Structure 1
């Protein structure tokens, strides 16, 4: 019986390894190491990403254009936005080499494939998804997975995520990031909830590698009324708080 159990465990392990090998044997959508490094360097230099969700397709490009006009150089289109990938592709073509565009709310490798095909330069997940992280890591694609606890942040790092998204926000704000960054200095934390127009710089000063701006940048009121000028003003205020902190020293 013991031998049978051992054999079964061995077979399961072998099957799992075989599936894993098949998953990565055909590395379609492979990116270059240089591209991977360029994406990380852009995050390190700019340190702030505009994260957009809109209830209508029509509002999406207008809102993101306003954020870019206000100074943002990194933009994330989320799959919860209607026609997200079409808008992402348009902005990638329009701003290629100037503004870096990525895709968020990625929940599986199929989502990641579609995002990369549309021109996404990085992948963001709302939660810690090892299969997506490993799929990206095998292809030199920067993946920034959503994490809530120090344990999840470390696990994301171990699976191959060079940046770790802190989502949703945690009590303690910048001081929480400082405590975790001090204890786990190999992490590069990207808070993307709880960051507003005034405290973005504080997060960076207290150890965050970069930050993501969602509702405080793209306020529901501005989206609903089409007040793109207000979004541009919000973006300008954020970037004025971020730029003085300077570049992030990559790890």
Structure 2
């Protein structure tokens, strides 16, 4: 029976595993960011990562949590590109449901665990995976995935039995690409500009994003069931 402190961590992990696809993006306009998330939600997304990649990230994230908490209470909103404890503290205070990082920082991991939240560090080598596991990373982001490739997962997964992996960066909305990743043993995929493109953001193509996301979710479901 999970305790009150560990429940949010497990809830976040379960949402990512169930969805199998973790959209991620940042945009400097908070209203556009909100509309992007609403389009993702209409398509069936219930968990996503906003990234800490601009000066407005914290202010935008705080605004998004306030707005979505009122209208989409079942949506899990994590924050990505967190590299320091100061960043982690600020976004946890703003209500982040989970913390995603491009690196392994044990100090950040310890802080997130103490807050009862899910920490998803980014790894590129077996040594980094080992370090992340030593600091109780339930889910590890493989980054950048387009450099590592599915063969990397196949090569290391037996070294780390039971570890959950999620490739991010370069994952395609393509049957062959998705099939290769899931056949290699990943539990989910992170998808940024391949799903939420620069054109979609700048031209506010919300309907196009909704349709593309539905396509990606359908394709992913088919691929996972093969």
CA distance 1:224–1:146, change in 2 (3 Å): same
- For 2:7 and 2:207, locate their aligned partners in 1 and report how far apart those are by CA, in whole Å: 36
- For 2:190 and 2:137, locate their aligned partners in 1 and report how far apart those are by CA, in whole Å: 17
Asked whether the 8 Å contact 1:49–1:73 carries over to 2, the reply is no
- For 2:165 and 2:14, locate their aligned partners in 1 and report how far apart those are by CA, in whole Å: 15
SS in 2 for 1:193: coil
CA distance 1:53–1:127, change in 2 (3 Å): same
Q: Deviations over 1:63-120 (max 9, x none)?
A: 2222222221211111225323322332244322x22111112122222222222221
- For 1:93 and 1:78, locate their aligned partners in 2 and report how far apart those are by CA, in whole Å: 21
Choose the corresponding residue for 1:91, options 62, 65, 68: 68
Asked whether the 8 Å contact 1:157–1:163 carries over to 2, the reply is no
Deviation at 1:172, TM superposition (A): 5.4
Deviation at 1:183, TM superposition (A): 3.3
Q: Deviations over 1:150-176 (max 9, x none)?
A: 211221111121111111124452232
CA distance 1:234–1:202, change in 2 (3 Å): farther
TM-score normalised to structure 1 length: 0.78
TM-score normalised to structure 2 length: 0.86
- For 2:70 and 2:144, locate their aligned partners in 1 and report how far apart those are by CA, in whole Å: 31
Structural RMSD (CA): 2.1
- For 2:211 and 2:180, locate their aligned partners in 1 and report how far apart those are by CA, in whole Å: 19
Asked whether the 8 Å contact 1:50–1:217 carries over to 2, the reply is yes
Deviation beyond 3 Å, 4+ runs, structure 1? none
Choose the corresponding residue for 1:135, options 111, 114, 118: 111
| Aligned residue-pair number | 216
Gaps of 5+ in 1: 1-29, 247-251
